[in-house]
Amino acid sequence: MPVHHGVWGIDIGQSALKALRLELIDGVLTATAFDYVEHPKILSQPDADPDQLTREALDTFLSRNKPQGRPGGH
User: Taking the CA atoms of the chain, what radius of gyration do you get in angstroms?
Assistant: 15
Relative to beta strand 16-25, strand 28-38 is: antiparallel
The predicted pLDDT at position 32 comes to 94
C-beta of residue 16 within 8 angstroms of C-beta of residue 38: yes
| Runs of H (alpha helix) within the chain | 50-64
What pTM value is reported for the model?
0.81
* C-beta atoms surrounding 61 within 10 Å: 19
Residue range 23-74, pLDDT digits in tens:
999 999 999 999 999 999 999 999 999 999 999 999 999 999 987 665 555 4
Please report the pLDDT score of residue 66 as a whole number.
81
> How would you classify the pairing of strands 28-38 and 6-12?
unpaired
